[in-house]
Structure 1
Amino acid sequence: MAPIRPNDPSYFYEGPVMRRGEGRRIAPTTTTDQRLLGEQPNSDWLHTDPWRVMRIQSEFVEGFGALADIRHAVTVWGSARTPEDHPWYRLGVDTGRLLHEAGYAVITGGGPGLMEAANRGCSEAGGLSVGLGIELPHEQGLNEWVNLGLNFRYFFVRKTMFVKYAQAFICLPGGFGTLDELFEALVLVQTGKVSEFPIILVGTDYWGGLVDWIRSRMLDEGLISESDPDLLYVTDDPEDAVNRVVAAHAGRRLR
């Protein structure tokens, strides 16, 4: 590449960015300050990628600010489609209540179904019930049992909040969204991005087939390490799940 010379029309700067090469881009005829202070003919600029970076940044700042005072919390994932009269709903309520009684705030996705159940159990017991919602075409708003709520535009910002302020993850039965969060948590623990976080699956009948497949197929094929299936703990008892959280958290503090 030829050296850049003063007054060379083949390149120009946009702030810290240097652009070079004829035909790649036409140099702007106005400066950034001019465009900032000038009249905006429409709001399309709000939806361009550079502006989205600021919007993403603002979601991180708002999330960190709102959740910074949470000292001990457990993130609970589960289906948004489970009705209140389903036995799993009672499982979620009991899990939320027991987590509060053990000294933890409960963080969920803030939606209906089993997320609502965990929020409800915690809130009815007098605990801090957190809901981290997301813009979705078929699921809007936070459930009524959330007493600290945030709604996000971006999944990856929301996922950071699920992890950053939690000491453990509990998965109630759920669909694709729950599986997405579960396997992301597994990868974070497996790769050491978060350390000594218990991942607990509540519902042996529901989760058993998945765990068996992980052991019988992924492990047998050599796609995961011998110890990786042990990152998952499966139980039917919410009290057992919460005791597992407490024990792991206590051991982590000691170390």
Structure 2
Amino acid sequence: MSMPVTPAAADAIDTFLTAAGVTKHRALVRRILEAGVGLSTDDTSRLNLKITSAAIEEMRAAFKLFAPYTNTPKVTVFGSARTQSHDPLWANTEKVAQQLSARHWMVVTGAGPGIMEAAADGAGAEKSLGVSIRLPFEEALDAEGNTVDANNVVMKYFFTRKLMLVKESSGFVCLPGGFGTMDETFELLTLQQTGKMDPVPIVLLDRPGGTYWSHFAAFITQELAGGGYISAGDLDRVVITDSAETATAEVLGFWRNYDSLRWVGDELVMRLKATPTAGEIAQLNARFSGLLDSGEIRVTSPLAPEVKDNDRLELPRIVFTPRRRAVGDLDRVIRALNAFASAPPITDARTTPGADR
């Protein structure tokens, strides 16, 4: 937490916000400006100021790109920029993008060649968004320094690019690739394991008969889990397949009954599309008792903070108090809920709860 600005600076910021016509989320905009002023009073170096200003500018451009599609579900596709169009990986990527876009999903990519191009081609121009990276050996900008494609945004930094590739999506399909793909895949697994990201479907998609992800899984199991660096079931939250149809079914099926979650103190509220029966709730409690810190899983009406925020009040929900270190196992509860007879049929698209979810 940065030190507060002086009273005179605070008054000047208020005056500026009023002159700029800032009324919506004014307190948050004020915090951004105060942090900027604080960087100067902290005697921050010119290089660090350049990094900060560029990152904020890049995020603003990306937020603007994604804003019109806030309520449209999106899947991000990761994979190698070196994959050629004759490779079966290309065909599998194009197929899964076609299948998801046909079910009213948008496809997000790194806006490069290879797997990224295959995904964008499969989804079509109107159903794809790109977040590309500016590299010294690639020219992706027009004369004004902007992307030529209105559905793309160009980033200077990998960390801002990865934020946007992950933040906006409700599903991920990873194809074989190099260091970048490994970085993106491990970040997804880390965010899920640590509970820093809401549960989402993650598919590791290979070419028919391919061994890339099976070798990856063997390394995870033998070296990471075997060495005690992760828990034995930490890779269970992903689906490894060589079938585009299976990949599509996993992304869509994950949202069959599960909608969203919210913490209210130590309690976790999980919003659903259909209310589980009493017998199904009993099954959840028997199966996931080890996940609970106290109490039981139970059906509930919206909790007071949800009512105050008008947060998904129309949906049924369950509530429970999980052990904090067990939050990475929430996908198991979601899969159980999706498999119950009470769960509705899989719909064409997930309705995204909102930008602030």
TM-score (norm 2): 0.56
**Mapped pair 1:232 → 2:228:** no
Distance 1:115 1:59 in 2: 20
* Partner residue, 1:99: 100
* 1:52 CA drift (Å): 3.0
Question: Contact (CA 8 Å) 1:111, 1:139: kept in 2 or not?
Answer: no
Which residue identity lines up with residue 65 of structure 1 in the other structure? K
Deviations 1:165-188 (A, max 9, x none): 100110011111111100011101
* Partner residue, 1:6: none
Deviations 1:9-65 (A, max 9, x none): xxxxxx65367xxxxxxxxxxxxxxxxxxxxxxxxx9x7321331221111111112
**Residue aligned with 2:255, SS:** helix
Distance 2:152 2:194 in 1: 30
Question: Contact (CA 8 Å) 1:129, 1:147: kept in 2 or not?
Answer: no
* Partner residue, 2:84: 83
Deviations 1:155-209 (A, max 9, x none): 1111110111100110011111111100011101111111211111001522110
* Partner residue, 2:64: 65
**Residue aligned with 1:150, SS:** strand
**Mapped pair 1:248 → 2:254:** yes
Distance 1:243 1:62 in 2: 32
Distance 1:208 1:77 in 2: 17
Question: Contact (CA 8 Å) 1:102, 1:242: kept in 2 or not?
Answer: no
Question: Contact (CA 8 Å) 1:111, 1:141: kept in 2 or not?
Answer: no
Distance 1:129 1:185 in 2: 21
* Partner residue, 2:220: 214
* Partner residue, 1:192: 195
Deviates more, 1:148-157 or 1:82-91: 82-91
* Partner residue, 1:33: none
Distance 2:107 2:42 in 1: 48
* 1:69 CA drift (Å): 2.6
Which runs of no fewer than 5 residues in structure 1 stay unpaired?
Answer: 1-14, 20-44
* 1:211 CA drift (Å): 0.3
**Residue aligned with 1:230, SS:** coil
* Partner residue, 1:34: none
Distance 1:225 1:248 in 2: 23
Question: Contact (CA 8 Å) 1:128, 1:147: kept in 2 or not?
Answer: no
Which residue identity lines up with residue 137 of structure 1 in the other structure? P
Which runs of no fewer than 5 residues in structure 2 stay unpaired?
Answer: 1-36, 142-146, 260-271, 273-316, 318-357
Distance 1:55 1:147 in 2: 20
* 1:140 CA drift (Å): 3.4
Number of residues of Structure 1 aligned to a counterpart in Structure 2 = 212
Question: Contact (CA 8 Å) 1:95, 1:238: kept in 2 or not?
Answer: yes
Question: Contact (CA 8 Å) 1:107, 1:129: kept in 2 or not?
Answer: yes
Question: Contact (CA 8 Å) 1:80, 1:113: kept in 2 or not?
Answer: yes
Of structures 1 and 2, the larger Rg is shown by 1
Which residue identity lines up with residue 157 of structure 1 in the other structure? T
**Residue aligned with 1:68, SS:** helix
**Residue aligned with 1:117, SS:** helix
Distance 1:218 1:248 in 2: 26
Which residue identity lines up with residue 107 of structure 2 in the other structure? V
Aligned-CA RMSD value: 2.3
Q: How does 1:126-165 map to 2 (within 5 A)?
A: 127-141=126-140, 148-165=151-168
Distance 2:42 2:252 in 1: 53
Aligned identity (percent) is 36
**Residue aligned with 1:163, SS:** helix
Distance 1:97 1:195 in 2: 25
Could you list the runs of 4 or more consecutive aligned residues of structure 1 that deviate by over 3 angstroms after TM superposition?
none
**Residue aligned with 1:84, SS:** coil
* 1:118 CA drift (Å): 0.5
Question: Contact (CA 8 Å) 1:82, 1:113: kept in 2 or not?
Answer: yes
* 1:76 CA drift (Å): 0.1
Which residue identity lines up with residue 48 of structure 1 in the other structure? L
